Each structure stands twice: as structure tokens, then as C-alpha cells.
Amino acid sequence: MPLVSVTRLRVRLWRYLPAFFLHTFRVARQIRRQEGNLSFSLLNDARHTFWTLSVWRDEAAMRAFMNSDAHRQAMPHLLQWCEEASLVHWTQESEEPPVWAEAHRRLLRQGRLSKVNHASVAHTRFEIPPPRPRARTITISRV
């Protein structure tokens, strides 16, 4: 059964954005080549907030990606760079990626916070505004 993974990251200071973008580029390049990835979207939302939505053949494929060089190298930086970070995973029947509204709904109902060193008040309260899908979105799809 396909597995959906959604993340939301809010970079706390503009000075972290160049390094964040570099790592994001590397992760996106890796995901294009990753066995078992069915689709990937990156949404550049308001106020230094970024969403990812990926669909995987199964959990093993997603875990293999999480342990890949590009993803593994980026993750430790998020503790310092981000003031908000959350994620959710779920399985679904279809290989089609869900719409952003469904990703937001699942994040609020089933998601969890990731650890950050400088949490915003919104992070500690698990307040997550809906994504703006009309913002700049990059999509890579194999479906």
C-alpha cells in the first residue's frame, strides 16, 4: 500500500535560507532518483514556511530515502534552522498524491511535532495554518 509523507518546516531566520535551499535542492535531486518514490511536491508557503508531500511505494522505500546521504545530512541542521517542524505519515489505496487540504487535515489530526531548539509559540501549541497551494510549488511525479 502506498505511504504518504507530509512535512512542514518554518525556517526561523532569513540567514538560514541559503543553506536550507542548498540542502533542499540536494534532497529533491536525491528523491528523483530514489527507488520507490512515486511523487514529490515542495510548496514554498508564506513566511519562510515549506511543505513537502511525497508518496512512496511502501514504508521501506521511504525509510531508505530517509537514510540516504542528502536527507541524513540535512536533518541535524533543522534543529537550529527551524522554529516549527511537524510531520505525518499514512497509507492509502491510491498512488495519486492527496491534495494539500488533505495533507493539512491529516497533519492536524494525526501529525506530530519534530524537535527544534528555538520553538515558536505556534509550534508549542501545534497551531498550523493551512498551506497556500497557489504559492510556488515544485512537483515531481511518476504516477
Q: Which residues pair with 5 in a beta bridge?
A: 54, 89
Residue 125: domain span: 3-141
Pairing of strands 49-56, 3-11: antiparallel
pTM greater than 0.75 (yes/no): yes
Share of the chain above pLDDT 90, in %: 90
pLDDT for the residue numbered 97: 96
Going from the C-alpha of 119 to that of each of 9, 17, 80, 126, the distances in angstroms are: 11, 17, 10, 11
Q: Tens digit of pLDDT for each residue in 101-136?
A: 999 999 999 999 999 999 999 999 999 999 987 656
Compute the mean pLDDT over every residue in the chain, rounded to the nearest whole number.
Answer: 93
* Residues 78-99: b if buried by 16+ CB within 10 A, e if exposed: beebbbbbbebbbeeeeeebbe
At 47-94, the pLDDT tens digits run 999 999 999 999 999 999 999 999 999 999 999 999 999 999 999 999
- What separation in angstroms does the CA of 83 have from each of 11, 34, 66, 67? 6, 29, 21, 23
> What domain count does the chain have?
1
Whichever domain contains 55, its CATH number is 3.30.70.100
CA 129 to chain centre: 15
